[in-house]
Structures are given as structure tokens and as C-alpha cells.
Structure 1
Amino acid sequence: MDENAFWQLIEDCRPAEPDPDAEVLAATLTERLAQSPLPLVIGFAEQLSWALYRLDRKEYGRDLSDDAFLYTRAAVVAAGRTEFDCVLQDPAAFTPYATALIWAEPLLYAPDQAYERITGEEWDRDTRYSYESCSNAEGWAD
């Protein structure tokens, strides 16, 4: 899955009504991914990890706990490509997510749940980029 396909899938699965915790988005993504070939699920997980990794920077997360920072970055991804690009261009655009504690934790589990539905096994996933907070050494360098 390339980056354009990733963002299109996010957009296609986003509900029309507000979904601040991304529960509907995550459920829809899980369902869609579970009906897809396994390589697509793996590709989605890779793109999700890459997007979260790119947001893993000191200017965004210095005042948040590791979990709060991860879930807030997920909320930016859940908001779609336009918002994601805006936040990458202007760190101040991240502030509303951090101050309002807008979290999208369920998004993190969508590929794992789809994998389990397809294979019947838990996924011991190891993506190229870690999405865990503070794993982007370049983003946290002084």
C-alpha cells in the first residue's frame, strides 16, 4: 500500500458525523481491512507507523505523557491527510489536539484486529518505523 492509498482508505472510512475518539473510523477500517488481502493489512500498518513516526517530534510532544502523545498523534492521522500535512508544516496546528486531549487510540489497533480476523492469530507486528513516543531520534534531537 502506498501513501496515497493509505490516505484514501482513511478518507473513505471516516464517518460523516464527528468521531472524536476515532471509534467509528477504527471499526470501519478494521472491517474493510479484514475483507482485504493480508499484504494490504500489512501495508496499512506500515503506512500508519510511518505517519505516526513523522509526527514523533519534540515540538509536538514535549509536554505530554508518552501515551497521551501517541494517542494525540493518532488523532491527527484520523483527521485525514490535509490536517496531517498542515500539522507537519506548522507545529502550532498540533496544539488544539494536545490541549483538548483529542485521542484516537482505537486507530492503532485496526490493522492488528484485521490481521487476527484474517489469520485467526494475534499479530506480533514489527513495522519498519516504531510509532511509540520518542522513537524518532531525529525528531527529538537537540
Structure 2
Amino acid sequence: MDEVEFWDLIALAEGSADETAVHRIWLGLRVREPDEILGFEDRLAEVLHRLDLRVIAKQRWRDVSEPSWLPRIPGISEDGFLYARCSAVLQGPGMVARILAEPRAFKRRWDVRAEELLYVGPQAYEAVTGRAWDYRYETPVSYETGSNPAGGWS
């Protein structure tokens, strides 16, 4: 799946990470061929991998569910950083480009419910094919925190 198609699907969420927004992406994938759904998974992994930079992870951010008076803590957790990156992806290509150009742009409140973005492809694949998702499927790159060799991780 090319970048334009990927971002068109992401735009269906309208920048939100709530269940309804992510469901709209699922609906957009539900009418695609299985290979296109796998392409979505590959592209999502690639975008998340690009954002997997230690300099971004070190920014002080917090989940939107946390009170605003709590201090922002850098690098809350590996999973938290992954879910915050998912939230950034749901904001669209402009936000991803802004963060990559200026990592301090990540210093904000993110909705970690965006974790659901990681499951929308497998769920759509199962709906389209009638077969269980093979969780051994490997994208060309990993989106797990610390997996980007150019990310400055030690």
C-alpha cells in the first residue's frame, strides 16, 4: 500500500483515537483485498518505525487521561511510547513529519487508546478472509520500541 492510500485510511479517524474513529479505519479496510490489508500493516509498521527514535521517546509527554497538573515524565514505558506513536500517526502525515523534523513536537498529551490501531489490520483481515490472523506475520520492519537501529537506542 502506498503512502497516499495509507494516509487516506488514517484520515478516516479524523485525528481521534476513540473506538468509533478506529472503527472507521476498520470499515475502510474491510472492503479491501487481503493483500491490501497486509500492505496497510506493513505501512503502519514503517511509519511507527520511523518515529521510533530515542530523541522522541525522551520528550516529556503524558496520556490525555492523566490530570494536567501531573508532571510530564520522559520515556514513561516502551508500550506507552508505542501507543503515543500510534496516537501521533492518527493525527496524520503532517504531525508525523513535524515530529520527525522537530522531536520537541512530541512534547504534548497523547491518547494511548490509540493502541487499538495496532489491531485494526488483523481484525479487518479476519473479517475479509474468514481466517484467523497469523500473528507470526512479520512486517518488513518492527514497530516495537527500540527496534529502529538508526534510532539512537543503546
TM-score normalised to structure 2 length: 0.81
Determine the structure 2 residue equivalent to 1:46: 42
Determine the structure 1 residue equivalent to 2:54: 58
Q: Runs of 5+ in structure 2 lacking a partner?
A: 59-74
Count of equivalent residues: 135
Select the structure that is richer in helix: 1
Deviation at 1:120, TM superposition (A): 1.9
Deviations 1:30-85 (A, max 9, x none): 12111111111011111100000000010111422111000000000000011111
Write the mapping of 1:14-25 to structure 2, written as runs, cut at 5 A.
14-15=13-14, 19=16, 21-25=17-21
**8 Å Cα contact 1:22-1:105 kept in structure 2:** no
Determine the structure 1 residue equivalent to 2:129: 119
Determine the structure 1 residue equivalent to 2:118: 108
Partner-residue secondary structure (3-state), 2:150: helix
Superposition RMSD on alpha carbons, in Å?
1.6
Of the three residues 68, 74, 82, the one matched with 2:94 is 82
Runs ≥4 in structure 1, deviation > 6 angstroms? Answer: none
**8 Å Cα contact 1:33-1:114 kept in structure 2:** yes
Deviations 1:79-132 (A, max 9, x none): 001111111110000110xxx342211111110100111122222221001111
TM-score normalised to structure 1 length: 0.87
1:71 paired with 2:83, answer yes
